[in-house]
């Protein structure tokens, strides 16, 4: 196998603001030995991750360096002149060198399943009260595999599921983010060119289910009638794999740009999920996993009169926040495979205007 060298890149960064701060970067109006520098970040600038072409995983940029220099002088409140800053260039983004409030909301752990494999995972636990709460499971894409669950929930905007806008709809929800050691579509070869699309079972299907069920059993505040599973790309495939294997376990599923091939779905399999609430999301311009994976399944479910079936369809996946522009000043266009961006930004509605987050919060097994 040809081993590719890790790329080393550098670029100028755009400074948005500079101010005195406390040691956590919060702005202060009093004298301080700390300063905070806000840098512009975009889809093409400032990521702490790099996609490793050898492993097909996202990994932390090591080293991650910022060369910050004064082009003039600073004057302190007591009249002293500063002509240089004492700033360490290298930042330990993979460890203690980062301040990331989103990470602090998660607990990281690992589970040794009955299949003999260890699965890392991240969990978010809502505030305790006298009620049971739903469990929302997110299954990552290929880039977030490995043994570091922080990558599984930071590689995409999974942290949105812990924020108030999502949580308030559920009255507080547990969030479980399992991490696959390789790829959810791995049927045993370990070779991405031979990933399964359903012709063979994934080697992780039952181990992942053991993890999910053990997590539910270990958290009595989880409502077993409100277990919701979803994921993108590889994780979308595994979402379908799980519901085909355990159709009565889940209250709902929300596969995004999923990769389970209709050719390997028997009549019995599709019939087993016709009463399961499912929300498909995909882009018509997706190339890695085209809409040919989702469209036939949706058609067959409609033919079976599936009553709680919803779909969000996009062509381009562009930035709708007006934050990011391309060189022509138009809204930045992401890779069309990345339709999960729509889900995490709460931009998915169906043909009747139903909002996906609202819909997910309403689902409960009979």
Residue 325 lies in a domain: yes
User: What is the C-alpha to C-alpha distance for residues 123 and 339, in angstroms, rounded to an integer?
Assistant: 23
Please give the backbone phi and psi of residue 210, each rounded to the nearest 5 degrees, phi first. Answer: -60, -45
- The answer, yes or no, to whether residue 102 has pLDDT greater than 60, is yes
CATH code where residue 331 lies? 3.40.50.1820
Same domain, 75 and 136: no
User: What is the C-alpha to C-alpha distance for residues 195 and 108, in angstroms, rounded to an integer?
Assistant: 28
Same domain, 222 and 240: yes
Could you report the per-residue pLDDT of 247-279, keeping only the tens digit for each?
999 999 999 999 999 999 999 999 999 999 999
When divided into structural domains, the chain yields a total of 2
Same domain, 86 and 152: no
Domain containing 120: what range?
A: 101-362
Residue 96 lies in a domain: no
Q: Which of 44, 67, 91 is the last residue of a domain?
A: 91
At 347, is the secondary structure helix, strand, or coil?
A: coil
- The answer, yes or no, to whether residue 178 has pLDDT greater than 70, is yes
Burial class from Cβ neighbours inside 10 Å (0-12, 13-18, 19+) for residue 126 reads middle
Residue 190, pLDDT score: 76
Residue 270, pLDDT score: 99
Same domain, 212 and 307: yes
Which run of H or of E encompasses 97?
A: none
User: What is the C-alpha to C-alpha distance for residues 188 and 166, in angstroms, rounded to an integer?
Assistant: 36
User: What is the C-alpha to C-alpha distance for residues 178 and 21, in angstroms, rounded to an integer?
Assistant: 36
Residue 202 lies in a domain: yes
Confidence of residue 192 (pLDDT cuts 50, 70, 90): confident
Which of 60-69, 137-146, 233-242, 296-305 shows the lowest mean pLDDT across its residues?
A: 60-69
Same domain, 85 and 153: no
Question: How confident is the model over 297-319, as a mean pLDDT?
Answer: 97
Tokens of 162: 């812990």
Same domain, 195 and 61: no
Same domain, 273 and 165: yes
Residue 33, pLDDT score: 86
**What stretches of the chain show up as alpha helix (H) in DSSP?**
101-104, 149-154, 164-170, 205-218, 234-245, 267-272, 295-303, 340-344, 356-362
List the Cα angle 167/181/232 in 5-degree steps.
45
Question: How confident is the model over 40-61, as a mean pLDDT?
Answer: 87
Residue 4 lies in a domain: no
Return left, alpha or beta for 105; rule: phi > 0 is left, psi -120 to 50 is alpha, else beta.
Answer: alpha
Same domain, 175 and 286: yes
Question: How confident is the model over 335-362, as a mean pLDDT?
Answer: 97
Which of 92, 164, 182, 96 is CA-nearest to residue 124? 164
**What stretches of 59-106 show up as alpha helix (H) in DSSP?**
101-104
Residue 3 lies in a domain: no
User: What is the C-alpha to C-alpha distance for residues 113 and 119, in angstroms, rounded to an integer?
Assistant: 7
Please give the backbone phi and psi of residue 359, each rounded to the nearest 5 degrees, phi first. Answer: -65, -45
User: What is the C-alpha to C-alpha distance for residues 139 and 137, in angstroms, rounded to an integer?
Assistant: 7
Same domain, 130 and 31: no
Residue 350 lies in a domain: yes
Question: How confident is the model over 345-362, as a mean pLDDT?
Answer: 98
Same domain, 217 and 352: yes
At 59, is the secondary structure helix, strand, or coil?
A: strand
Residue 1, pLDDT score: 43
Residue identified by tokens 């290298």 is 90
Q: Which of 67, 91, 115 is the last residue of a domain?
A: 91
Residue 89, pLDDT score: 87
Residue 65 lies in a domain: yes
Residue 194 lies in a domain: yes
Q: Which of 60, 91, 122 is the last residue of a domain?
A: 91
At 283, is the secondary structure helix, strand, or coil?
A: strand
Which of 253, 259, 214, 244 is CA-nearest to residue 123? 214
Within 8 A by CB and 6+ apart from 92, the residues are: 64, 98
Which of 17-26, 86-95, 114-123, 132-141 shows the lowest mean pLDDT across its residues?
A: 86-95
Which of 250, 267, 265 is CA-nearest to residue 366? 250
Residue 3, pLDDT score: 52
User: What is the C-alpha to C-alpha distance for residues 81 and 46, in angstroms, rounded to an integer?
Assistant: 31
Question: How confident is the model over 318-340, as a mean pLDDT?
Answer: 93
Same domain, 142 and 232: yes
Residue 75, pLDDT score: 82
* The length of the chain, given as a count of residues: 366
Same domain, 65 and 147: no
């Amino acid at each position: 196998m040809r081993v590719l060298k890790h790329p080393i890149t550098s670029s100028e960064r755009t400074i948005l603001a500079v101010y005195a701060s406390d040691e956590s970067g919060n702005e202060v109006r009093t004298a301080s030995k700390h300063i905070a520098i806000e840098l512009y970040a975009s889809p093409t600038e400032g990521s702490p991750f790099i996609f490793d072409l050898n492993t097909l995983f996202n990994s932390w940029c090591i080293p991650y360096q910022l060369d910050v220099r004064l082009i003039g002088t600073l004057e302190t409140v007591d009249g002293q002149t500063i002509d240089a800053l004492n700033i360490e260039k290298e930042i330990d983004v993979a460890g203690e060198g980062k301040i990331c409030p989103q990470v602090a909301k998660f607990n990281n752990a690992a589970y040794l399943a009955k299949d003999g494999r260890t699965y890392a995972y991240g969990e978010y636990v809502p505030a305790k009260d006298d009620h049971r709460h739903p469990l929302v499971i997110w299954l990552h894409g290929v880039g977030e595999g490995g043994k570091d669950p922080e990558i599984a929930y930071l590689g995409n905007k999974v942290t949105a599921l812990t924020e108030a806008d999502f949580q308030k709809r559920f009255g507080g929800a547990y969030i479980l983010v399992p991490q696959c050691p390789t790829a959810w579509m791995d049927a045993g070869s370990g070779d991405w060119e031979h990933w399964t699309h359903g012709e063979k079972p994934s080697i992780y299907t039952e181990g992942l289910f053991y993890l999910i069920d053990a997590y539910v059993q270990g958290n009595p505040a989880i409502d077993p009638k409100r277990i919701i599973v979803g994921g993108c790309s590889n994780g979308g495939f595994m979402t379908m794999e799980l519901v085909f294997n355990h159709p009565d376990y889940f209250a709902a599923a929300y596969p995004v740009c999923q990769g389970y091939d209709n050719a390997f779905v028997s009549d019995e399999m599709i019939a087993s999920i016709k009463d399961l609430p499912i929300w498909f999301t995909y882009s018509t311009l997706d190339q890695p996993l085209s809409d040919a994976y989702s469209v036939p399944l949706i058609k067959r479910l409609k033919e079976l009169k599936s009553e709680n079936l919803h779909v969000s369809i996009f062509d381009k996946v562009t930035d709708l926040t007006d934050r990011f522009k391309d060189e022509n000043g138009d809204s930045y266009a992401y890779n069309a495979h990345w339709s999960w961006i729509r889900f995490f930004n709460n931009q998915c509605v169906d043909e009747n205007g139903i909002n996906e987050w609202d819909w997910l919060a309403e689902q409960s097994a009979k």
